Amino acid sequence: MDFQILITNITNPTLLFFALGTIAALVKSDLEIPESSVKFISLYLLFAIGFKGGQELAHSGFNNEIIYSLLFGLVLSATIPLYTFFILKKRLSISDSGAIAAAYGSVSAVTFVAAVSYLESQNISFGGHMVAVMALMESPAIIVGVILMMKFEKSNENKVNIKSILHHSFTNGSVLMILGSIVIGFIADTKQAEGIKPFTTDIFKGFLAIFLLEMGMVTARRFKGFLKYGFFVTFFAIIIPAINGCIVAYASQFVTEDVGNRFIFAILAASASYIAVPAAMRLAAPKADPGLYIPMALGVTFPFNITLGMPLYYMIINAF
């Protein structure tokens, strides 16, 4: 592994603010970001990513690579829950297995943001259509996870109307914001869009740093309750994303030759949702423990990806 890349990533200001948030929670500091501010910042990040992606998509137009990329993303999102569910159900309940499988098949918008920041630090560009790929990968995993729970759950308590889950997964605030921003960015006049560029670009990293400060505090607070589940879930939350990311880092060369796009594919495959999936699982799997699948995604997988995962996937992409 290129240790210079690893050091550069670890000393990234946004990641250091994540570490500060973790420390603040561990020492029981009264540092706190108002909930309304956190919600605004999260919506801002999704808006900025989606709008810029829509603009890029409008400039690049549709071609075979974009179509293949969208299909590849959908296949990944639907496939990852299938095999992870059967690994998990050997040790965990059907509800917990389905919820975790859905989380790991879906994607983390915040990890995507961190990946974009990483690419910028390496002076590597990526296609705007990858934002659309990310948005489309949110829902298939949720649907597959629910179907698996409905099939294997012995009782009927967990059986939920698939139509309502599908509706909820697409109308979830984070998904709707990024999909809507992509569409607006795509149809917006280029000259008019320049007027909001300072808002969508110049202050982006500052807001990301504050958001990751909050994520660090949330991670540390939720991690204690997660420890009762033992080593298996921790091992899963590191090894499975690493395997997914490494395989996709290699296999993505058959979809696109662009290094930035391949890196985004790898990080999407390796990430786990802790926003859209928990919201959907409240309806679909009330018996699933949020104290399990949220800390797995946010407390283990997210830090792994932004410290060791990204340099690892980048190295594999450069090797192949």
Summarize pLDDT for 148-167 with one digit per residue, the tens: 888 887 655 545 566 776 67
Is the pLDDT score of 3 beyond 90? no
Is the pLDDT score of 132 beyond 60? yes
Q: Average the pLDDT over 10-29 and give the result.
A: 85
Higher model confidence: residue 22 or residue 274? Answer: 22
Is the pLDDT score of 6 beyond 70? no
Q: Average the pLDDT over 11-38 and give the result.
A: 86
- 274 φ, ψ to 5°? -130, 20
pLDDT of residue 209: 86
Q: Average the pLDDT over 75-79 and give the result.
A: 95
pLDDT of residue 155: 57
- What distance in Å separates the CA atoms of residue 122 and residue 307, rounded to the nearest whole number? 15
Residue with tokens 């698996």: 148
Length reported for the chain: 320
Question: Token digits for 124?
Answer: 């590597």
Confidence of residue 1 (pLDDT cuts 50, 70, 90): very low
* Pick from 137-146, 151-160, 187-196, 234-243: least confident: 151-160
Confidence of residue 301 (pLDDT cuts 50, 70, 90): very high
Alpha helices, DSSP H only, in the chain?
Answer: 3-10, 13-26, 35-60, 64-88, 94-105, 109-121, 129-136, 138-152, 162-171, 173-187, 190-194, 197, 204-226, 231-251, 259-270, 276-284, 290-295, 302-304, 310-319
Q: Are 89 and 154 in contact (CB under 8 A)?
A: no
The 8-class DSSP code of residue 200 comes to I
% of the chain beyond a pLDDT of 90: 32
Higher model confidence: residue 37 or residue 282? Answer: 37
Confidence of residue 9 (pLDDT cuts 50, 70, 90): low
Whole-prediction pTM: 0.78
Please give the CATH number for the structural domain made up of 35-319: 1.20.1530.20
